Amino acid sequence: MRIKRLYPVVFVGAGPGDPELITVKGQKALTDADLILYAGSLVSETLLELAKPGAEIVDTAPLGLEAILSRIIHSHREGKRVVRLQSGDPGLFSAMQEQVDALQREGIPCRVIPGVTAASAVSAALAQELTLPEVTQTVILTRAAGRTPVPDREALSQLARHGATLAIYLSVHQIESVVAALVEGYGQEAPVVVAYRVSWPQERILRATLSTIAERVRKAGIQRQALILVGPALESREECARPRSRLYHESFSHGFRSGS
């Protein structure tokens, strides 16, 4: 008797929106899939054009966790290749873990293919490094407390004390309270960026300070699908005399070069 081959369920990061920002490995997984479950409003449908003829494609936006898992488990046990296509990177704010844990309890193996997260896409759109020598060497990825709580030690007011580059996800609808939490740590004139649907055709990027960004966001009508970046690394080039990196400095020696 021929034994049915079972494939691991593959979680694929779709990236921030631009269909060309998916990884080559993620693209291949989509091409091979028999079932693709994707996050409807957050994933570009252009990616679904990679699906092979006859592949089943399911928008999970209206589905609860149990319904999603039921489809995955049934298809996996039928010997189908299943791809769960998630926006951004599955390792951040994706609810991937609860799906993986449930599948592993069923004895179903999983693989994860990372994706480009929104903070990286905003950095690229700005042509702006988020870590600068002698300015900040730390990037914190977080969100404001809302319907999903945040530990007290991770409150924005606490994280702002570090003075690092802060990337705040899923929080633009609370922009006023976000600003209030950040001002004490960064100051009213700290540079801030709000990037709406970065890398999509509808991309819109607002640059302001903490004292003005809430009004800019309100006038732009941005209430969701935007990332907030704040920190001294975002100072404009004209206003900030930035120290040079040691990596390429003529006086800096390392394993491949002797400094002068």
Please state the separation of Cα 109 from the chain's center in Å: 24
Instruction: Please check whether residues 42 and 27 belong to one and the same domain.
Output: yes
Confidence of residue 4 (pLDDT cuts 50, 70, 90): confident
Domain count, the chain: 2
Please state the separation of Cα 154 from the chain's center in Å: 18
Q: Which CA distances in Å does 184 have to 157, 158, 161, 178, 240?
A: 7, 10, 8, 11, 21
Q: What is the pLDDT of residue 65?
A: 97
CATH number for 158 = 3.30.950.10
Distance from C-alpha of 245 to C-alpha of 248, rounded to nearest angstrom = 6
Whether 142 contacts 149, CB under 8 Å: no
Pairing of strands 9-13, 82-86: parallel
Residue predicted with more confidence, 243 or 169: 169
The DSSP string of 228-240 is EEESGGGS-TTT-
Q: What is the pLDDT of residue 242?
A: 58
- Report percent pLDDT > 70 for the chain: 89
Instruction: Please check whether residues 23 and 126 belong to one and the same domain.
Output: no
Instruction: Please check whether residues 124 and 230 belong to one and the same domain.
Output: yes
Rounded to an integer, the average pLDDT of 163-175 is 98
User: Is the pLDDT at 256 greater than 80, yes or no?
Assistant: no
Per-residue pLDDT reduced to its tens digit, 133-146: 999 999 999 999 99
Whether 259 is in a domain gets the answer no
Instruction: Please check whether residues 127 and 51 belong to one and the same domain.
Output: no
User: Is the pLDDT at 240 greater than 80, yes or no?
Assistant: no
Distance from C-alpha of 222 to C-alpha of 197, rounded to nearest angstrom = 10
Per-residue pLDDT reduced to its tens digit, 14-29: 999 999 999 999 999 9
First to last CA, the chain: 72
Whether 257 is in a domain gets the answer no
The C-alpha angle 206, 43, 72, rounded to 5 degrees, equals 150
Q: What is the pLDDT of residue 41?
A: 82
> Which amino acid makes up residue 141?
L
* 3-state SS assignment for residue 137: coil
Instruction: Please check whether residues 55 and 75 belong to one and the same domain.
Output: yes
Instruction: Please check whether residues 142 and 100 belong to one and the same domain.
Output: no
CATH number for 70 = 3.40.1010.10
Whether 183 contacts 159, CB under 8 Å: no
Q: What is the pLDDT of residue 257?
A: 58
Instruction: Please check whether residues 81 and 33 belong to one and the same domain.
Output: yes
The range of the structural domain enclosing residue 188 comes to 118-234
Whether 38 is in a domain gets the answer yes
Given 65, 86, 113, which residue is the final one in a domain? 113
12 Cβ neighbours under 8 A, 6+ residues apart: 22, 26, 29, 30, 83, 84, 85, 86, 90, 113, 115
Q: Which CA distances in Å does 169 have to 119, 134, 146, 196?
A: 9, 26, 12, 11
Tokens of 203: 């991309």
Instruction: Please check whether residues 34 and 91 belong to one and the same domain.
Output: yes
